């Protein structure tokens, strides 16, 4: 991921309504939410939210799909992952020992749930 692309994504998330919108969409994965319903949930006018959603879409953090009368928005977790990776690689860059604790602290966030039998 390029620096420029990262700035676009970070800027898209760096606004209260948009961050809230993105978080809400993440919570509604993989179904997504129609624009109008999201506007109701966040209590912002539809056209205002529409502008925010277009910023998120330009940053490729959300996708939209028309479903009859509604336009359903979904979080694009793949792009989100790219951003996270970009930031953390940054952190690691050359010096894994500095980044290791950061990564380690992220583990409990998602219990691995592998087939492995634990390390005990």
Partner DNA sequence: GCGTTATTTCGATCTTTTTAGAAATACCGT
Partner DNA sequence: ACGGTATTTCTAAAAAGATCGAAATAACGC
Residues that bind its own copies in the complex, under the rule CB under 8 A: 3-4, 6-7, 10-11, 13-16, 19-20, 22-23, 26-27, 29-30, 77, 80-81, 83-85, 87-107, 109-113
Of 6, 19, 26, 35, the one binding DNA (CB under 7 A) is 35
Q: Is residue 44 part of the contact set for DNA (CB under 7 A)?
A: yes
Among 54, 96, 100, 102, binds DNA (CB under 7 A): 54
Residue 45 binds DNA (CB under 7 A): yes
| Residue 15 within binding range of DNA, rule CB under 7 A | yes
Q: Which helix (H) or strand (E) holds 93?
A: none
* Helical segments of the chain, H only: 3-13, 16-27, 35-42, 46-58, 77-92, 96-106
Q: Which option in DNA, its own copies, none does residue 118 bind, with CB closer than 5 to 8 A by kind? A: none
Q: Say whether residue 47 binds DNA (CB under 7 A).
A: yes
State the minimum distance, in angstroms, from the CB of residue 82 to its own copies. Answer: 9
How many C-beta atoms lie closer than 10 Å to residue 73's C-beta? 25
Q: Which residues contact 77 (CB under 8 A, 6 or more apart)?
A: 26, 29
Question: Which is closer to its own copies, CB of 68 or CB of 105?
Answer: 105
- What does the alpha-carbon distance between residue 21 and residue 36 come to, in Å, rounded to a whole number? 12
Determine the straight-line distance between the first and last CA of the chain, rounded to whole angstroms: 37
């Amino acid at each position: 991921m390029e620096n420029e692309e990262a700035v676009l994504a970070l800027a898209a998330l760096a606004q209260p309504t948009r961050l809230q919108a993105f978080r809400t969409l993440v919570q509604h994965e993989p179904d997504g939410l129609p624009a109008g319903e999201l506007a109701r949930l966040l209590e912002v006018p539809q056209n205002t939210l529409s502008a925010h959603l277009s910023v998120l879409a330009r940053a490729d953090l959300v996708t939209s799909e028309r479903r009859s009368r509604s336009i359903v928005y979904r979080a694009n977790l793949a792009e989100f992952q790219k951003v996270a990776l970009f930031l953390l690689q940054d952190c690691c860059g050359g010096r894994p020992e500095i980044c290791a604790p950061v990564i380690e602290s992220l583990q409990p966030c998602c219990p691995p749930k592998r087939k492995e039998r634990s390390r005990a």
